[in-house]
Amino acid sequence: MLKPSKALQLITLGTGGGRFATITQKRRTGGIRILYEKTNIHLDPGPGALVYSLEAGLDPQRLNGVLVSHCHPDHYNDAEVLIEAMTHGMTKKRGVLAAAHSVLGGGQQCDPSISKYHQQMPRQLVDARPSTSFDIGSLRFTATKARHTDPDAVGFRFETPNFGDVAYTSDSEYSDDLAAAYGGVRVLFLCVMRPAGNPWRGHMTSDDAVKIVKEAKPEMAILTHFGMKMIFKGPASEAKSIQEQTGIPTVAASDGMRISIDEEILVRAERKQRGLSDFVKG
């Protein structure tokens, strides 16, 4: 099991996104775990979120929050089983489920992605529309507008009592208001599906990431949610290019990466056969 820490910790249980990365698992699609004091949250639990949580020593029964940004399987697939874990096998009303309107009620593109049966078991249900704010433990979340093929898609920005703000764009095209929503965060997770020069409607490229990072000016940018074109191009080289163009430290997330945020930002990458070793210090 993960040792307790006073710092805010984020664990990338998956850094893949899109249909073919999901189907092949060239990069895992388990989403992000957020740990702070007694707060334990899973963000965008795509396929493999349960298994990769257990593999990382993260007991899903300790969850007190599940967040889902939109109604595509690489973001919601394991949400129901994590809700079952959070509610201790559906025996206790506990925790918070905060999800985009399309996930809870269906929308222009999809039917509800989480059943009514599972929606009734968390202690609190949040229809996460842009500008909606809610608390999970000691963290304060605000849903932010995303520009995606699911028109109800949202990102999330959250504030800690001691270590500043962190944000996650989810899948989105660039827009001026998107960049403005993330101004002043310490760490910005960007879902960068494709490398520079390869636009795709509703998704972000490295070119878009450059514009957002220049405007938002986070202390550190972390790229994640890579599609196959990005995986084959090499996320690390794209991160290096973004850093050179923006002057902001930029990291390409890897599966199993752990980010610790207190006065400093410490990033540790999981390495095969060698465990965890420090490689970036902010």
Q: What is the pLDDT of residues 36-75, one digit of tens each?
A: 999 999 999 999 999 999 999 999 999 999 999 999 999 9
**Backbone dihedral region for residue 240 (phi beyond 0: left; psi -120 to 50: alpha; all else: beta):** alpha
Q: What is the pLDDT of residues 207-216, one digit of tens each?
A: 999 999 999 9
Quick count: other Cβ atoms within 10 Å of Cβ 2?
15
The span from the CA of 28 to the CA of 201, in Å, is 23
Token couple for 52:
């990769």
The pTM assigned to this predicted structure is 0.93
Task: Choose among 187, 186, 208: nearest CA to 197.
Answer: 208
For tokens 């938002």, the residue is: 216
For the structural domain made of 8-281, what CATH number should be given?
3.60.15.10
State the pLDDT at residue 5.
62
Which segments of the chain have a pLDDT < 70?
1-5, 271-282
State the pLDDT at residue 271.
59
